[in-house]
Structure 1
Amino acid sequence: MRPRLLLVTDLGYPAAGRTYRDEDIDLAARLRADFAVAMCHPLDAAPLMAGFDLVLVRNSGPVLHYAEQYAEFRRVALESGTRVFSQLSGRADMAGKQYLLDLTAAGYPVIPTVDRVEDVGSLPDVPEYVVKPKLGADSVGLRFVPRAELGAVTGQLIQPRVPFRYEVSFYFVDHTFQYALHAPDPGRRWDLVPYEPTAADLAFAQRFVDWNTVDHGIQRVDACRTEDGDLLLVELEDLNPFLSLDRVPPGTRDAFVAALTAALLRMLA
Structure 2
Amino acid sequence: MNVAFLTCPGTHPGSPTRRADAFEHDLMVAAIRPELATRGHGLVEIDWRSPLEAFANMPLVLVGTPWDYQDSEEQFLAKLEALEAAGHILCNSAATVRWNVRKTYLRDLAASGAATIPTLWIEAPTATDIAAAMEHFGTGSVVAKRQVGAGAEGQSIHHHASLDTDWRMAHPAMLQPFLPQIQRDGEYSFLFVDGRFSHALRKRAAAGDYRVQSIYGGTEETLEPSPDDIATAQAVVDAVPQGMPLYCRIDMVRGSDGTLLLMEAEMIEPFLYPEQGPQLGVLMAEAITRRLEALTPVTT
TM-score exceeds 0.5: yes
Q: Post-superposition shift, 1:18?
A: 5.3
Relative to 1, partners in 2 of residues 1:153 and 1:242: Cα closer, same or farther, differing over 3 Å? closer
Q: Which has the higher contact order (CA 8 A, sep 6+)?
A: 2
**Matching residue of 1:171:** 191
Matched, 1:232 2:261: yes
Relative to 1, partners in 2 of residues 1:92 and 1:121: Cα closer, same or farther, differing over 3 Å? farther
Residue type of the alignment partner of 1:239? I
Contact 1:24 1:59 in 2 (8 A): no
3-state SS of paired residue (1:89): helix
Q: Post-superposition shift, 1:16?
A: 4.4
Contact 1:89 1:214 in 2 (8 A): no
Residue type of the alignment partner of 1:196? E
Q: Post-superposition shift, 1:256?
A: 2.1
Q: Post-superposition shift, 1:107?
A: 5.3
Residue type of the alignment partner of 2:252? A
Larger mean CA deviation between 84-93 and 133-142 belongs to: 84-93
Q: Post-superposition shift, 1:91?
A: 6.1
Matched, 1:130 2:143: yes
Larger mean CA deviation between 179-188 and 192-201 belongs to: 179-188
Q: Post-superposition shift, 1:127?
A: 0.6
Question: Which one of the candidate residues 1, 5, 8 is aligned to 2:6?
Answer: 8
**Matching residue of 2:125:** none
Q: Post-superposition shift, 1:160?
A: 0.8
What count of residue pairs does the alignment treat as equivalent? Answer: 262
Question: Which one of the candidate residues 177, 194, 206 is aligned to 1:160?
Answer: 177
- TM-score with structure 1 length normalisation? 0.84
Q: Post-superposition shift, 1:152?
A: 5.6
- The percent identity for this pair of structures is 24
Larger mean CA deviation between 218-227 and 181-190 belongs to: 181-190
3-state SS of paired residue (1:240): coil
**Matching residue of 1:32:** 37
Write out aligned runs for 1:49-128 (5 A). 49-90=55-96, 94-104=100-110, 108-116=114-122, 117=129, 120=133, 124-128=137-141
Relative to 1, partners in 2 of residues 1:221 and 1:259: Cα closer, same or farther, differing over 3 Å? same
**Matching residue of 1:266:** 290
Relative to 1, partners in 2 of residues 1:73 and 1:193: Cα closer, same or farther, differing over 3 Å? same
Q: Specify every segment of 5 or more residues in structure 2 that has no aligned partner in the other structure, as ranges.
A: 123-128, 213-217, 295-300
